[in-house]
Amino acid sequence: MQITGTLFNYFQVCKRKLWLFANNVNFEQTSDLVYDGKLIHEDSYPLRSSKYEEIEIDGIKVDYYDTKNKVIHEIKKSNKIEQAHEWQLKYYMYVFEQHGVTDVKGILEYPTLRKTQPVVLSDVDRDRIKEIIVDIDKIISSEDCPPLQKKGICKSCSYYEFCFTKEVEE
């Protein structure tokens, strides 16, 4: 299975969510939060689509790529899981490098917060990305779903009801 930016992000946030999503247990299409995020992506920078490209390489889909300045722009709704966003963007930069595009820069954008965050890919990050790819492969190819780990972010997850609703035995 190709490692997508979504899988890379979910690895940072929740191994259970990663496994569920990779194994086609998907609640994203019914999530209002996911829908809100898509609207923010589409509406925040209306002129961007004429100026920059949305690029897809090896299963990753970059929000906007400025080919002239070699900058990947990644748009997010909230910075609650900023570290996961940073690693997702670093992974995008890494994939670009694997395809011969060097010196790529990254910018995380949080339009509703009016905040931008530059992201740099270091040699240490490249080594860590290689390790994460191996870890993701192990998790998603496992027969068993990782155990539930309650986190502060769980209530805003599209998998919340799946993970926390107990079935009533008859």
The residues spanned by each domain of the chain are: 5-164
Average pLDDT over the chain, rounded to an integer: 84
Please tell me the predicted confidence (pLDDT) of residue 1.
Answer: 77
Residue 41: pLDDT over 70 = no
> How do residues 15-25 score in pLDDT, each as one tens digit?
999 999 999 88
DSSP code, position 77: S
Query: Quick check: helix, strand or coil at residue 156?
Result: helix
Mean pLDDT of 98-121: 92
Fold of 5-164: Lambda Exonuclease; Chain A (3.90.320)
Q: Is the pLDDT of residue 119 over 50?
A: yes
